[in-house]
Structures are given as C-alpha cells and as structure tokens.
Amino acid sequence: MSIVYYPGCSAAGTSSDYEKSTQAVCDALGMSFTPLPDWNCCGSTPAHATSTELSAALSVRNLDIAAKMGAEKVATPCPSCLSNLRLAKKRMEKPEFRARVDELLDEASSAELPQTYSVMQLIYEKYGSEFVAHRVQRPLKGLKVACYYGCLMSRPADIMADFGHPENPQVMESLLRACGAEVVEFPLKTECCGASHGIPERQLTANLSGKILETAQNMGIDALVAACPLCQMNLDLRQKQAGKAMGKEFALPVFYYTQMMGMAFGIKLSALGLNKLVVSPEPVLKKWQAALKEGVCE
C-alpha cells in the first residue's frame, strides 16, 4: 500500500516547523512515505479564485505523477492542499471538465487518480489512539489544551465525508488524549481564522482570530493546537494584532499537533522546530517538565 507524500509549498517556507515535526512523528511511528518527485504547487487559494480548470490542472498534474508511480494514496499535512487535491479528483469525474483540464496538461491524465488524505487522518486510521498511546514516552501531563482544525479540514462535507462530522471532528482530540494531554472540547474548533484575508483585509482576520483566541483564553487552556500552516500563522504570528483588535492581551502559545505528539514521543525538542513559534512556548514546556518531574497525576 504505497503512499506518496506531498509536502506543499509552505512546508519549505513558513511552516518548516510543521514539516520537521510531521516527518519526525511519522518516522517515530514507522510510517514510510515515498516523496512525490517533481511536485508542483497545488494552486492554493489564488488558483481556484481565478479558474477552476487551472486549479484542477495544477493538482491533477501532481496526482497524475503519483498515479504513474502506482501510488494508491497521497498524504499531505496541509488542509488547503488536501482540499484542492480532493476537489480536483472529484471534478475530474465529469468527462467534459476532464477534457478541458487535460488540454492544459502536457499529456492526458490517467483515468484513475489516487485519493488524498491528511497525515493526521492516516495516523489515526492506520494506528488509532491505542497504538499512539503505546508509543508515548513522556506523556503531556499537566497540559490543558484545545484543538483547532480551521474551516477547511472537514469541509465541504460530501468530499471530506470520511474525516468525521463537519461541525464536530474528533480525530485530533483523540490523538492528543492518547498523548496524555487534558483536552478541552473547543466549540470554535472549525470556525474560520480569517485565512488569507490576513493580507488584503487585515482587520477581518484580526477579528476572527481574535474571537478564537479570546474564547480559548477564557477556557483557561495552556495552549491551542492547530493543524494548518495558515491558521497557525494567523493565531501565532498575528496574535498581537488580534489582541489589539479585541482590546485584550493574548499570550497563548499555538502548537502544531505534530509538535505536541513529538514532545510526547520523547523526540528532541530542537527537532520539532519549537523555536519558530512566535508566542514563546516556554511556559508550556516548563509546566510540562515540572509536571513530569513530580510525577503529578491529575
């Protein structure tokens, strides 16, 4: 069952920490992906804003390479790439659309394109929370966290049907609970953080992210855990702007779930790219290590 890995553009750039921690966690779990050679950008938001055929062509080119390699599945950490690759495959089912996309490509794409999955879903489906718990060496004791999926991970419902209820996914919660953390049910986990509006409409993203941070902070959690490079950037990098917009002081570290899992698996912190987090993760790490030393149990 060969799975091809599609890193996505931000992996090399803004979310290199997400990439490093994802690789680390996958190696720790013995999950082998063959990297996709000569991959190209999935088109992200600008492409499908201009033309669906262009966006599909970009994604289909990647899927076609994977298909020709005989891959059955494509794994990607980034929800935006996930949604583009899946949407493209769905649209290619219509013959007239397929014809228009094939025109843009060098050669006609193969009839059967592989399906794309988020790394989180593959970990959960392949291993499940018991196995993950079994791999934990330094449980995330004493940490009270809330999971935040962002709005793309579980929508649109008909294409992402296998990811759980679009309004109330539970995959990240069960993985983190398996890692020993105290996970709080976060009601705004699928609300939009403002995504790419951070550039043209800075105030809008500030409001939306601000509301998420305010509710999270009110729930008295130690850290917010995200799974999307763009959401993490809006909540972490732009936390001050959001604070200003809400007239509040926010100091809420925003981890990637793979960083948290890496910590639980006992991977060297430096290999998890924690240093890249804007809001310092130190208080969380101190609280965690303190809890580990005293063997404090809830």
- 165 is a contact residue toward other proteins (CB under 8 A): yes
Residue pair 252/224 in contact (Cβ under 8 Å)? The answer is yes
Sign of CA dihedral 2, 272, 152, 99: negative
Q: How many CA atoms lie within 13 A of 120 on its CB side?
A: 30
CB of 168 to other proteins, least distance (A): 4
Please report, to the nearest 10 degrees, the dihedral formed by the alpha carbons of residues 67, 69, 73, 77 taken in order: -110
Residue 167 CB, nearest distance to other proteins (Å)? 4
Residue among 154 and 234 whose Cβ is closer to other proteins: 154
Residue 182: enclosing H or E segment and its boundaries?
A: strand 182-184
DSSP string, 41-53: ---HHHHHHH-HH
Decide if residue 168 touches other proteins (CB under 8 A). Answer: yes
204 φ, ψ (degrees, to nearest 5): -60, -50
Among 37, 218, 268, 298, binds other proteins (CB under 8 A): 218
Beta carbon of residue 56, minimum distance to other proteins (angstroms, whole number): 27
Cβ proximity to other proteins: between 188 and 237 the closer is 188
Pairing of strands 223-226, 254-256: parallel
Q: Which is nearer to other proteins, 25 or 212 (CB)?
A: 212
Quick one: which of 105, 192, 219, 285 contacts other proteins (CB under 8 A)?
219
- Number of amino acids touching other proteins (CB under 8 A): 14
The binder of other proteins chosen from 191, 204, 237, 292 (CB under 8 A): 191
Helix (H, G, I), strand (E, B) or coil at 236: helix
Based on CB atoms, which residue is closest to other proteins, 102 or 191?
Answer: 191
Residues 196-215 that bind other proteins (CB under 8 A): 215
CA 122 to each of CA 5, 29, 72, 292: distance values in angstroms, whole numbers, following the listed order: 12, 11, 13, 29
For other proteins, the closer CB: 215 or 289: 215
Which x/- pattern over 7-46 shows residues binding other proteins (rule: CB under 8 A)? Answer: ----------------------------------------
CB of 246 to other proteins, least distance (A): 12
* Residue 159 in the binding site for other proteins (CB under 8 A): no
Helices vs. strands in the chain: H and E counts, helices first: 14, 8
Cβ neighbourhood burial of 94 (10 Å; 0-12, 13-18, 19+): exposed
Q: Is 185 in the site for other proteins (CB under 8 A)?
A: yes
Q: For residues 189 and 238, which CB has a smaller minimum distance to other proteins in the complex?
A: 189
Residue 4 and residue 35 in contact, taking contact as beta carbons nearer than 8 Å: yes
Task: In angstroms, give the least distance from the CB of 99 to other proteins.
Answer: 25
Q: Which residues bind to other proteins, rule: CB under 8 A?
A: 165-168, 185, 187-188, 191, 215-220
